[in-house]
Amino acid sequence: MEPFTTLRGIAVPLDEANLDTNQLCPTRFNKVPKGPRFRDILLHDRRFNADGSEKADYILNQAPYRQAVIAVAGRNFGVGSSRETAVFGLMGFGIRSVIAPNFGDIFYNNSLKNGLLPVRLPGATVEALLRQLLARPGATMTVELEAQAVTGPDGAQHRFEIASLSRKRLLRGLDEIAHTQEYAEALRRFEQEQARAFPWLAS
Amino acid sequence: MKTLFEKVWDNHVVAREEDETLLYVDRCLIHEGSRHTFDTLQERGLAVAHPDKVFAFSDHYIPTDPRARAGGVANLPDPEIRNMIELLERNTDAYGIARFGWGDARQGILHVAGPELGLSQPGIVLVGADSHTSTHGAFGNLSFGIGSSETTHVVATQTIWQRRPETMRISIDGTPGFGVTAKDIILAVIARIGIGGAIGYAIEYAGSTIARMSMNERMTVCNMSIEAGGRAGMIAPDDTTYEFLAGRAFTPKGAAWDAALAFWRTLPSDPDAKFAKEVALDAGSVVPMVTWGTNPEQALPINGRVPDPDRETDGERRGEYAKALAYMGLQPNMPLGEIAIDRVFIGSCTNARIDDLRAAAAVAKLGRAVVPAWVVPGSVSVKRQAEAEGLDRIFTAAGFEWREAGCSMCTAINGDQLAPGERCASTSNRNFQGRQGPGGRTHLMSPAMAAAAALRGRLVDVRELGGRN
């Protein structure tokens, strides 16, 4: 996984609550292997007409936002499916951090595993960021993971919380499976004990 | 004093580091959509730690059209869909993972066929590559859905890193009225707490209404925990649970059963265990529910009216309602019972078990479908049971289409889908925009309500049709 330290760039305001996984990646694209096709899969049915042409009025199709690296969105972002394709779509488009009041639980975890930083900020703060971004198309923001801080277009800083182990993994781009393998001895003991106490579950 | 959740969690701790816990995983369920997991295993040359703890189901991409099913995988016309089914076959063979696939009498939706096999046992940690894995918590275990990266980690290490969720108890008491089902109760819960209401929580459903429910009804309730944002939904195991489990393919037998049973009886939450959040619902006040909007919290009793965004005092909600009505093609204030529908779908991991098909058939026999109506059993075993009871003949005599087992039009990726603008009365779990096909419009409801909608060609209060009782 690519480390996440500081991200600075254009932020796109997705001024909408409940952007569920079916919007982020319509289910018919779940069979696509991870790769460059996901650039056009993100929010596909919002961005494209049935004939494949772009919907010019959709925000991601407007000039400054094609280079967006941050998205700011309403509450319940990413609720729904466990399919990681919703994250692949955001990453494929170039977005490495999403800021919202809250996230679908599985989406949140999937993001962390792919080096996409989900940032929870209070609803009023997100609302203020959305207003600034809508007023100044193409405005930039900064997300710093080490400092756990977001800097809005107006220069104001907002601190956010993230679980410490998840933060460490992202900062260092740690491989989670390799990390878990360091616990091989604890795992061996657990399996021995389970086989003794709950033999009907043992391999 | 511990909750059911805490007992199961504490029993599965392998290690702790900072604010996360490495939990042992007893079972992992996958399906044809798990391709990204196998792609990663192959790229990285990783082995599957315990192939006997991983179980694969063909459900999302498998056709439910009886002719396509009879024709075999090789004759599927869409090469991408065929590839997904064949990939699962190749990958499970390569890694020695049990597969319940095309042509297997045990095939079905992972959350219907898995419990039938006895895989979902009290006290275990079960993960699935699908958000509706919360279904299995009906058996008194910790079950939740995970993405492909976490699935890769689980099959490679048999563990998963977790931040511990908070606990929430939803107590449901009282006797549901005629025509009110487990689906109506869970839709009423979600309408109350919202689609984000349980984010960060593991839910335990408790109370006398839950205690009286069959396992099939409990699975319907736990299934939709994720639609309230919950990490998991659980119900304390009891004699109903043990009767369901006894004698199933993967449940312990003989002395092992006795030992397991003694342990399972220790799992229910202690009487004075504390929950971080408590919610209560009177089942006696619940009326058959339908959704009118584009997420599961946008649900109302069938005798209500479509909301009027202009009357919403919350500005954010006003905007959401207006957008939902525009997508759904509905007028504010129109009675829900006047919404005309184009199609009916009875199926999905929420409502395609034998009880669901019995309830739908009891309504179907009162008339004849006036719109295309599909019945898609959740598993081959449910299909055979329904046929043994003559339910298939009731459905076909009433003009419903009787199909093969799979996810079908709930997730609309196997070719079963709505045309743009089509409106469907559906027993599935998500009414998101485009969920049942691009531009499709979904109204969620119970199997009895969906069957009633088929007979009338509009949303209708099933209680108006009489029938049972």
pLDDT one-digit tens code per residue, B295-314: 999 999 999 999 999 999 88
Give the mean pLDDT of B212-233.
98
Contact A82 B320 (CB under 8 A): no
Distance of CA B11 to the CA centre of its chain: 26
Give the mean pLDDT of B152-161.
98
Instruction: State the pLDDT at residue B226.
Output: 97
Give the mean pLDDT of B328-347.
98
DSSP class per residue in B243-285: HHHTT-TTS--HHHHHHHHHHHTT-SPPTT---SEEEEEEGGG
What gap in Å lies between CA B110 and CA B56, rounded to an integer? Answer: 8
What gap in Å lies between CA A200 and CA A198, rounded to an integer? Answer: 6
For A99-121, the pLDDT digits (tens) are 999 999 999 999 999 999 999 99
Largest CA distance in chain B: 65
| B129 neighbourhood in chain A, CB within 8 Å | 82
Of all residues in chain B, what percent carry a pLDDT higher than 90?
98
**Banded model confidence at residue A203, pLDDT cuts 50, 70, 90:** low
Contact A34 B36 (CB under 8 A): yes
Of the partner residues B15, B153, B420, the one whose CB lies closest to the CB of residue A177: B153
Distance of CA B389 to the CA centre of its chain: 24
Contact A22 B200 (CB under 8 A): no
Query: In Å, how far is A53's CA from the nearest CA of chain B?
Result: 15
| B434 neighbourhood in chain A, CB within 8 Å | 22-23, 26, 45
Query: In Å, how far is B131's CA from the nearest CA of chain A?
Result: 5
Give the mean pLDDT of B353-381.
98
Contact A27 B411 (CB under 8 A): yes
Count Cβ–Cβ pairs < 8 Å, chain A vs chain B.
Answer: 170
**Element spanning B124, H or E:** none
Instruction: State the pLDDT at residue A202.
Output: 79
Domains and CATH numbers, chain B: 4-162 (3.30.499.10), 166-285 (3.40.1060.10), 291-465 (3.30.499.10)
Query: In Å, how far is A149's CA from the nearest CA of chain B?
Result: 20
> Which 3 state secondary structure label does DSSP give B420?
coil
- Summary mean pLDDT of chain B: 97
Domain range A6-172, CATH class: alpha beta
Query: In Å, how far is B102's CA from the nearest CA of chain A?
Result: 18
Written as six digits, the tokens of B45 are: 């040359």
| A76 neighbourhood in chain B, CB within 8 Å | 195-196, 199, 229
Give the mean pLDDT of B230-243.
98
Residues in chain A, total: 203
Query: In Å, how far is A169's CA from the nearest CA of chain B?
Result: 12
A122 touches A100 (CB < 8 A): no
Written as six digits, the tokens of B301 are: 């009793």
Of the partner residues B80, B145, B152, the one whose CB lies closest to the CB of residue A106: B145
Q: b/e map of A124-140 (b: 16 or more CB within 10 Å)?
A: ebbbbbbebbeeeeebb
CA dihedral B214, B215, B216, B218 (to 10 degrees): 90
Per-domain boundaries in chain A? 6-172, 175-203
Of the partner residues A27, A103, A180, the one whose CB lies closest to the CB of residue B153: A180
Distance of CA B261 to the CA centre of its chain: 26
Query: In Å, how far is A67's CA from the nearest CA of chain B?
Result: 26
Of the partner residues B80, B256, B420, the one whose CB lies closest to the CB of residue A31: B80
| B263 neighbourhood in chain A, CB within 8 Å | 198
For A123-178, the pLDDT digits (tens) are 999 999 999 999 999 999 999 999 999 999 999 999 999 999 999 999 999 999 99
B118 touches B210 (CB < 8 A): no
Contact A113 B156 (CB under 8 A): no
| DSSP structural state of residue A33 | P
**Banded model confidence at residue B35, pLDDT cuts 50, 70, 90:** very high
Instruction: State the pLDDT at residue B469.
Output: 40
Query: In Å, how far is A164's CA from the nearest CA of chain B?
Result: 6
DSSP class per residue in A79-138: -S---THHHHHHHHHT--EEEES-B-HHHHHHHHHTT-EEEE--HHHHHHHHHHHHHSTT
Contact A183 B438 (CB under 8 A): no
Looking at the whole model, is its pTM more than 0.90?
A: yes
For B402-453, the pLDDT digits (tens) are 999 999 999 999 999 999 999 999 999 999 999 999 999 999 999 999 999 9
Q: Which residue of A has its CA nearest to B156?
A: A177
Residues 6+ apart with CB under 8 A from B103: none
Contact B157 A177 (CB under 8 A): yes
Of the partner residues A22, A82, A165, the one whose CB lies closest to the CB of residue B434: A22
What gap in Å lies between CA B22 and CA B34, rounded to an integer? Answer: 22
| A82 neighbourhood in chain B, CB within 8 Å | 128-131, 133, 145-147
Q: Which residue of A has its CA nearest to B430?
A: A80
Query: In Å, how far is A193's CA from the nearest CA of chain B?
Result: 11
Contact A34 B438 (CB under 8 A): no
Q: Which residue of B has its CA nearest to A18?
A: B295
